[in-house]
């Protein structure tokens, strides 16, 4: 008799536990279904999009990633490079450059790229380049290496004139897409040299800076000759203003 009561009590307990577990599972399933319904609800999606899309469009129009990336690049160049923290500087500048490329790709995909975006990108690139070579010039000044300061200054000036000559050529109706030391090549060379210098390889940085200065002079001469050939009068006497 006692055994029967124990068996009946155990069976009742198991049935009650099963019922509670089934109810709990149904409750969880119902909550999940409710979440799915909310997520699939067009009104809910529209409300979320209404909150997210306006700031996203604003950031794209403002080129916020490019602006922040340029500010970060200038800060890194003027803080890390003069101190000789070359490895840290190269890593951070590479990451910031990648963010700038991402911003440009996002703008093209969103259809927001155009003359204004191109102008802004080119202008901010000049700031970044100037900060990088200016930081290296400060490094030479701070560490008693005037030849590095002189080479970095030459590389800075020739790099800026290289970009200016191309823009000015386009302004007068010509093209100047020639040269052996455009921006990408200059940045790759100086990044590689700074990285090696950070790992203790001597003489690489001044050699790279003097090389960039010389290549910049050659590129400027190439662009002057190219534009001169395009704008040379086909006949008659050339007028001078």
Q: State the average pLDDT over residues 84-111.
A: 78
Q: State the average pLDDT over residues 217-233.
A: 93
| pLDDT score at 118 | 79
pTM of the model: 0.70
| The CATH number of the domain covering residues in 63-231 | 1.20.120.1760
| pLDDT score at 113 | 60
Looking at every residue in the chain, the average pLDDT score rounds to 78
Proportion of the chain above pLDDT 70, given as a percent: 63
Q: For this structure, is 7 an active site residue? A: no
Pairwise CA distance, residues 94 & 191, whole Å: 9
Of the two residues 9 and 108, the one the predictor is more confident about is 108
Q: Which two tokens stand for residue 68?
A: 């922040």
Pairwise CA distance, residues 154 & 151, whole Å: 5
Among residues 100, 103, 125, 129, which one is catalytic?
A: 125
Of the two residues 86 and 179, the one the predictor is more confident about is 86
What does the DSSP assignment read for 162-174?
A: HHHHHHHHHHTT-
- Residue-wise pLDDT for 156-195, tens only, equals 999 999 999 999 999 999 999 888 877 888 999 999 999 9
37: pLDDT strictly greater than 50: no
Pairwise CA distance, residues 32 & 220, whole Å: 66
Q: Where are the alpha helices (DSSP H) in 172-203?
A: 183-198
Confidence class for position 82, pLDDT limits 50, 70, 90: very high
Q: Which two tokens stand for residue 72?
A: 């970060």
Of the two residues 182 and 146, the one the predictor is more confident about is 146
| pLDDT score at 1 | 45
* Domain layout of the chain by residue ranges: 2-40, 63-231
What's the CA dihedral at 110, 114, 116, 121 to 10 degrees?
80
User: Which candidate, 148, 229, 153, 156, places its Cα nearest to that of 194?
Assistant: 148
């Amino acid at each position: 008799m006692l055994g029967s009561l124990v068996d009946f009590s155990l069976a009742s307990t198991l049935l009650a536990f099963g019922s509670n577990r089934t109810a709990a599972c149904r409750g969880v399933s119902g909550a999940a279904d409710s979440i799915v319904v909310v997520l699939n609800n067009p009104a809910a999606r529209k409300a979320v999009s209404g909150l997210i899309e306006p700031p996203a469009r604003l950031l794209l129009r403002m080129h916020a990633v490019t602006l922040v990336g340029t500010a970060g690049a200038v800060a890194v160049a003027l803080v890390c490079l003069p101190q000789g923290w070359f490895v840290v500087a190269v890593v951070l500048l590479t990451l910031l450059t990648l963010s700038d490329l991402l911003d440009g790709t996002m703008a093209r995909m969103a259809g927001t790229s155009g003359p204004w975006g191109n102008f802004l990108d080119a202008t901010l690139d000049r700031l970044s380049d100037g900060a990088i070579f200016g930081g290296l010039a400060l490094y030479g000044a701070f560490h008693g290496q005037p030849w590095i300061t002189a080479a970095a200054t030459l590389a800075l000036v020739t790099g800026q004139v290289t970009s200016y000559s191309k823009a000015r050529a386009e302004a007068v109706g010509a093209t100047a897409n020639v040269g052996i030391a455009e921006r990408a090549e200059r940045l790759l060379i100086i990044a590689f040299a700074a990285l090696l210098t950070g790992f203790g390889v001597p003489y690489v940085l001044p050699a790279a800076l003097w090389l960039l200065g010389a290549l910049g002079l050659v590129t400027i001469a190439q662009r002057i000759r190219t534009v001169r050939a395009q704008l040379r009068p086909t006949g008659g006497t050339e007028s001078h203003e």
